[in-house]
Amino acid sequence: MDQQRKGWYYSCMTKPAQIPDYSLFGETEAFPDVVHCEHIRDRAPEHGWIITPHRHAQLAQLFYIEEGSADATADGESFDLRSGMMLFVPAQTVHSFAFAPQTQGVVQSFPLSVLNSIGPVSGDIGRALSRPFVARPTHALTTQMTLLDDALGQHGPFRAQIAVGLAHAVLSLAATLNHSPKGSVAAPDGRLAHLDQLIAQHQGQGWTARDYAAEMTLSTGHLSRLCRTAKGVSASAYIEAGTIQEACRMLAFTQLSVAEVGYRLGFGDPSYFSRRFKSVQGQTPSVYRQKFVT
């Protein structure tokens, strides 16, 4: 990144009191379509080619750079995007971009309802699309992305059904670029994705594994078996890991004190929050935050 653009980038990254959560960047109204596609030139120029840290609670996104470049972050990890590269960003992931002026590319946004309806049900796709990753898309993937863009611009019969079918193809082809078959175990169904959504919705409310199981009309034991089958941990450990992941985002991208982060996530005792954070992350919240001090 050239020094001038780097200066713009960091000057626009003053940490807010909370992480902005948009339907689309800068928008708080309802998501506008069954799937959404826009070009980088449609939104980035009005923001000085800088997209500041934010997230989408219910959207996964795929960014494809056709020409130009971008410095991106996703949950604190840095990515150097160049022409012909793509970045996949799961829901809830805090991300930001500093695009080189005149960069050309496309952003496709997929509601979780679309992602979670890919069938036949397989835990492999869920795992492949559970973390941010960079790849060079195949010709088949860019072709499907173009078809999806075209379909969303039409207004004929069955437009939504066509768009969802193409979205499934785009997401499935993207997943193949981050698929590691070694040791993969198929998940029984989409209930783990449902649990992830519930954890995001109820963080800070003191919900236990029993509460989540009841909301999902499962026994606590059944929920733990689901988590152990998919992730090798108990339901309580899985829920705690999700809470600590949110703490990591808040520590990295907000100006909240360590104690306030803990309070917002349901920890009444800051010392206990620090101990649990260190147990999961291997370091205290204060040490973790130092990595993001500029």
Q: Give 65's pLDDT tier (boundaries 50, 70, 90).
A: very high
CA of 172: how far to CAs of 16, 57, 107, 117, in Å? 35, 21, 16, 11
CATH class of the domain at 191-290: mainly alpha
Residue type, 223: L
Q: Higher model confidence: residue 24 or residue 97?
A: 97
Q: Could you tell me which CATH class the domain 3-176 is placed in?
A: mainly beta
Predicted confidence at residue 260, as pLDDT, reads: 95
The pLDDT score that the predictor gives to residue 124 is 81
Are the folds of 3-176 and 191-290 the same? no
User: What sign does the dihedral 173-138-110-229 (CA atoms) show?
Assistant: positive
The residue among 250 and 187 whose pLDDT is bigger is: 250
Tens of pLDDT, residues 69-116:
999 999 989 999 999 999 999 999 999 999 999 999 999 999 988 998
35 torsion bin: left (phi>0), alpha (psi -120 to 50), beta (else):
beta
> Taking the domains of the chain in order of start, what are their residue ranges?
3-176, 191-290
212-223 pLDDT, tens digit per residue, is: 999 999 999 999
Tell me how far apart the 2 most distant CA atoms of the chain are, in Å: 59
* d(C-alpha 134, C-alpha 97), whole Å: 14
Confidence (pTM): 0.80
pLDDT exceeds cutoff 80 at 32: no
Percent of the chain with pLDDT over 90: 68
8 Å CB contact between 97 and 71 = yes
